[in-house]
Amino acid sequence: MDNLSIIIQWFSTFFSIENIKHIFMYNKGEPMIFTQFFFWSFFAVVLFFYSFIYKKRGLRNAYIFFVSLFFYYKTSGLFISILLFSTLSDFIIGQLIYSSKKELAKKIFVALSVVINLFVLVYFKYAYFFTESFNQFFHTNHEVFNHFAQWTNQNVGTHFEVNQILLPVGISFYTFQTISYSVDIFRGHIKPVKNIFDFGFYVSFFPQLVAGPIVRAADFIPQLYKPYQLTQHQFGLALFWILKGLSKKVIIGDYIAVNFIDRIFDNPTMFTGFENLMALYGYSLQVYADFSGYTDIAIGVALLMGFTLPVNFNSPYKAKNVDEFWKRWHISLSSWLKDYLYIPLGGNRGGSVGTWIALFFIIGFIVLLSGKMIVLYVILGVVAVAVILALWIKSFRSWLTTNINLLITMLLGGLWHGASWQFIIWGGLNGLGIIVYKLWRKISPYEKLNGVLGVVLKILITFNFITFTRIWFRAENMESTWQIMDQIKNNFSAVLIPQILSSYSKVFTVMLIGFVIHWLPVKVKTWYRETFIAFPLGLKIIVSSVVIFGVYQAMSSELQAFIYFQF
């Protein structure tokens, strides 16, 4: 009788109103992310019901769409309405593009899709920037007003602050996906999906919804209509991706961030130049472990459900030059910018009307950031000189037309991350890095040196350059950026290095292990991946249990969101 009472009490507690609210209602302080036990409980329930319907493709797609909406609601609350708006509008526009007989009508509809998606993205991501810059530039006192919050307050009964605009999680990713859908239909690469549920599934597929990889319609939509398949090898591979991603994120990324990197960047002047330098190297490892860890988990979770997501990272710190780095880092964004921005602008063939529009947009951003008309005059002067030189000197004209679209693409890639000087400088430096490399390889006597020492030297130069640009990517503001560089230059304190190494011995050991694993040869990584996949099921369970135990032992008491959630 006592045991029965205990069971009844447990059920009454578990199914209490408070617990049910906690499970089904959005909690701002507890978004659903891959490192939470709640996510894996959610995924287990999803898989349980999925096992009954996976053969019925229409029902399966609708089911995944609705569970993805629940996932996004738990992650971002009522911003789910923005996701639904993008889904509905682009589904309708996609049908209109395909059914239109005239080329002009198709162009109008695809332009409408791009404008709507970019407007939504700009409104939520850059409203504060434009308002503050406008006030500074024209000495006005306008305030941000959130029309979306006002609408939901009036129609849904919410109580959002109308004088602030919050950034919906994942908006930069799913807006790019919906743009690719409209453009791919326009280009004839795909046909429209059969119904709104299929399209909603594509847009909101929960493993990659909030931080990528960015999935192109032409690559993913055909999978919606294929029968479910999960071989023994795919199961082992999916499990490997998930364990690998969790280990990267928690054991490496979060550990070195909480115990070292965040402390330095929060107050760089309190630490020596050596500590600031090591924090930069550590951040290069952290941002890779964090972001690639997310996409590894996303790939594994999707594969368990029978869907293949694109690989987003390919050992980027093995790159021998900046151009190669961007073919290995955030591949889905880099290739998206290439195919949907760089090539339509004209690529390396030369400028176009789109080039001038994009250039005008970037100049406007920079002028607003500065808040000074003199900046506009200087930029226009530089543009005028460049045009004159291009008209006068044929070789310069060829060089300019080859590289102008590349630089514009990298600058816009920087602005995709946020509206600040840091991201503009970061994107610009990476663009210049590619341009300089293209010039250097034509005259460099070392370009053909592909022996071990030559390759190591190229990798180290590239890695140090990428790490240097990350000062602007990670620092809170420009003042902090200059403080970090000043500390490294003027307060290096070499005599304190042994003491610093001793004080942070665990952190530096984890960093060293992380970099060693990253730089392992491909055949070594392939060997231990395939070895794990070939393990019997019982051994897989044992290894997985050990890894998961280690992950949750290393986990910080405070929730560490994935870095790219902010974008």
> Could you tell me the CA-to-CA distances from 143 to 118, 138, 384 in Å, in that order?
22, 14, 36
**pLDDT at site 476:** 82
Inside any domain, residue 11: no
Half-sphere exposure of 418 (CA within 13 A, CB side): 18
Counted residue by residue, the chain has a size of 567
Instruction: Give the span between the Cα atoms of 225 and 517, in whole angstroms.
Output: 38
Question: What angle do helix axes 394-417 and 353-370 make, rounded to 10 degrees?
Answer: 60
Same domain, 295 and 160: no
Same domain, 357 and 280: no
Half-sphere exposure of 385 (CA within 13 A, CB side): 6
Instruction: Give the span between the Cα atoms of 248 and 514, in whole angstroms.
Output: 8
Q: Are 75 and 32 in contact (CB under 8 A)?
A: yes
Same domain, 101 and 210: yes
Same domain, 53 and 155: yes
> Could you tell me the CA-to-CA distances from 160 to 130, 141, 164 in Å, in that order?
21, 22, 9
The residue with tokens 């071989």 is 231
**pLDDT at site 324:** 94
Inside any domain, residue 563: yes
Inside any domain, residue 123: yes
Instruction: Give the span between the Cα atoms of 125 and 249, in whole angstroms.
Output: 26
The whole-model pTM stands at 0.88
Same domain, 219 and 269: no
**pLDDT at site 181:** 93
Q: Are 10 and 19 in contact (CB under 8 A)?
A: no
Inside any domain, residue 20: no
Inside any domain, residue 402: yes
Inside any domain, residue 259: yes
Inside any domain, residue 110: yes
Question: Which of 295, 289, 301 is closest to 239 using CA atoms?
Answer: 301
Question: Which of 229, 214, 139 is closest to 184 using CA atoms?
Answer: 214
What confidence tens digit (pLDDT) does each residue in 519-554 have?
999 999 999 999 999 999 899 999 999 998 888 887
Same domain, 115 and 68: yes
Q: Low-confidence residues of the chain, pLDDT below 70? A: 1-30, 137, 142, 144-166, 556-559, 566-567
Total of domains in the chain: 3
**pLDDT at site 514:** 94
What confidence tens digit (pLDDT) does each residue in 440-486 have?
888 777 777 778 888 899 999 999 999 999 999 988 888 899 999 99
Same domain, 380 and 437: yes
Same domain, 131 and 278: no
Q: Which domain holds residue 400?
A: 332-444
Same domain, 105 and 213: yes
**pLDDT at site 552:** 83
**pLDDT at site 11:** 47
Long-range contacts of 545-554 (CB under 8 A, 24+ apart): 547/243, 547/246, 547/247, 548/243, 548/246, 550/247, 550/251, 551/246, 551/247, 551/250, 551/251, 552/250, 554/250, 554/251, 554/254, 554/255
Instruction: Give the span between the Cα atoms of 194 and 481, in whole angstroms.
Output: 50
Q: Are 401 and 350 in contact (CB under 8 A)?
A: yes
